[in-house]
Amino acid sequence: MASEERVLANGAKFIDFQTNPSRYKHWKLDVAGDVATLTMDVDENGGLFEGYQLKLNSYDLGVDIELADAVQRLRFEHPEVKVVVMRSGKNRVFCAGANIRMLAGSTHAHKVNFCKFTNETRNGLEDSSENSGQKFISVVNGTAAGGGYELALATDHIIMADDGSAAVSLPEVPLLAVLPGTGGLTRVVDKRKVRRDHADYFCTIEEGIKGKRAVQWRLVDEIVPNSKLDAKVADCAKKFAAHSTRHGNGKGVALAPLNRTVGDSGIRYDFVTVDIDRAARIATITITAPDAAPPADVDAAIAQGAGFWPLQVARELDDAILHLRINELETAMLVFKSHGESANVLAYDAFLDANKAHWLVNEIRHYWKRVLKRVDVTSRTLVTLVEPGSCFAGTLAELVFAADRSYMLVGQKQGDNRPPPAITLSAMNFGPYPMSHGLTRLESRFQADPSDVDTAKAKIGEALDAEAAEELGLVTFALDDIDWDDEVRVFFEERTSFSPDGLTGMEANLRFVGPETMESKIFSRLTAWQNWIFQRPNAVGEEGALRRYGSGVKAKYDMTRV
């Protein structure tokens, strides 16, 4: 049975985040030298679910899964590409945003996870621009409404047709009683520096803004008559390419399909295993270290292709997290474990650090950063168990620091001849993998005394046992064999008995301490408010705006300000 037709054990449709250009229904990817064109031409009958049509280039999660895949392939498979032009394949419409019928008919959980994934995809565009040198240009040839304009906002440069009808808008508040869910509000004021009063006006009108005012208010970068649009786009792409920092050469790395088996009780990849205990509402994610040292040089790594261990493990973990988010909604907790030789993990870290100037290694490092960020913003309790035989070293140790709780065994378990567990730090723990707010996980952990980061950094390369790790503040608890089973069991049982709503709010607040960035605002502040608004009757009630949109009947609001 094809993956897109698979049905889960709970009877729900399996949503697969793995795809490739040959399977795209909604996007076309063309590469010509150093410029790629991503054309959005949504199949209105190609939605993930029944009950709606994706008219006017509106989108659902399936459309965004393809976009995320295309952006990832541009980074890994096309080192020559310096500029990506995003445009519409339809006349007089760029993108009408998230499909309203889809939102109205979706469960609350699906709406929130949809918004979260689209946020991550748009942040991926910006990450590619900043860290891969692939600049993005949007060509707005008609209506760019709501999520359609939010897609354009994620690019570096917006060119809009000056034809009297093309316009940009964020009409969610007046039309739907919800917020622009993919960072629109934040990007308008934080990224494009639109004045607050102008933004207030813009976000409360349905028809949007066009022409010279759109440029004057910084909503777009330039307007061009249709007769000159293609020439302007080509000229703009040429200029961006000339100033690109991307220095990829040679062949890219084809992102071959993952070797993956999905069963009723979990998922099996080559290096990542997910075991799901539905009765306990716990998913255990186990990562396996490589069984050999890294190749001699980057050319040998490229020859390994998508099977190069750091890239393959990142792809497997990424797919596993997305699967658990959207397909296993009753899972309360993700428990991270690992096994294998820490020395091999550290050898790969040293390889990534020594070759960080190479385009492929740069991409792998930034991919790991994005995967770890995806872990950070996943609404499940995150727990890491550091046990005998584990390999939480360097990059994999980030999963210890990302956890809401971490438990490390002191010594060995009775009858277990594996060596006592250790955590080993590497250079990768001190910069390459910042969280959404710009701090490393160790900097975030040691807010009270930043010198604790320097103390930990002095221990790079040392195998730290449980007592040393606890003293340095790297784990929550170090437990001996007598207490281990009972302490962990009691914590699991207690944690999974709490309200998921309360835990989601608590964990999200505690994970992101310190400064705010545009990205952290989108995930923490905006996502929190959207989560609440999506449950309010003014939006999703029988007389709410989402339900009544397009019916000709005006929504009825509870006018109490909360």
Note the pLDDT of residue 10.
Answer: 65
495: left (phi over 0), alpha (psi -120 to 50) or beta: alpha
Note the pLDDT of residue 207.
Answer: 94
Note the pLDDT of residue 1.
Answer: 30
Note the pLDDT of residue 462.
Answer: 98
The CATH number of the domain covering residues in 25-242: 3.90.226.10
Cα atoms found within 13 Å of the Cα of residue 32, Cβ hemisphere only: 7
Amino acid sitting at position 171:
P
DSSP 13: B
Q: Which among 425, 501, 500 is positioned nearest to 464, based on CA atoms?
A: 425
Note the pLDDT of residue 4.
Answer: 42
Q: Do domains 25-242 and 261-506 have the same CATH topology?
A: yes
Note the pLDDT of residue 349.
Answer: 98
In the chain, domain spans: 25-242, 261-506
Alpha carbons 157 and 170: distance in angstroms, whole number: 18
Note the pLDDT of residue 3.
Answer: 39
Note the pLDDT of residue 459.
Answer: 98
Calculate helix-pair angle for 342-354, 309-327, nearest 10 degrees: 110
Which fold is adopted by the domain 261-506?
Answer: 2-enoyl-CoA Hydratase; Chain A, domain 1 (3.90.226)
Note the pLDDT of residue 5.
Answer: 59
Alpha carbons 279 and 331: distance in angstroms, whole number: 9
Q: What is the 3-state secondary structure (H, E, C) of 156-216?
A: CEEEEECCCCCEEECCHHHHHCCCCCCCHHHHHHHHCCCCHHHHHHHCCCCCCECHHHHHH
Instruction: Report helix, strand and coil shares of the chain as percent, to nearest 5.
Output: 45, 15, 40
User: DSSP letters of 26-83?
Assistant: SEEEEEETTEEEEEE---TT--SSSS---GGGEE-HHHHHHHHHHHHHHHHH-TT--E
* Structure token digits, residue 334: 């993700």
Note the pLDDT of residue 2.
Answer: 37
* Structure token digits, residue 100: 């309203």
Task: Return averaged pLDDT per consecutive 10 residues of the chain, 562 residues in all.
Answer: 55 90 98 97 96 97 98 98 98 96 92 93 97 97 97 98 96 93 92 98 97 98 97 98 91 96 95 97 98 95 97 98 96 97 98 97 98 96 98 98 98 90 98 97 96 98 98 98 96 96 89 91 76 89 92 93 84
Q: Which among 475, 454, 451 is positioned nearest to 464, based on CA atoms?
A: 475
Cα 298 to chain centroid, rounded: 27
Question: Dihedral of CA 315/318/321/327: which sign?
Answer: negative
| pTM for the predicted model, two decimal places | 0.96
DSSP 433: S
Q: Which residue has the tokens 């760029």?
A: 94
Instruction: Give exposure, 280-293, as e/b (b: 16+ Cβ within 10 Å).
Output: ebbbbbbbbbbeee
- In sequence order, the β-bridge partners of residue 406 are 384
- 3-state class (DSSP) for residue 25: coil
Q: Which among 357, 353, 347 is positioned nearest to 427, based on CA atoms?
A: 353
Cα atoms found within 13 Å of the Cα of residue 149, Cβ hemisphere only: 30
Cα 383 to chain centroid, rounded: 20
Note the pLDDT of residue 9.
Answer: 64
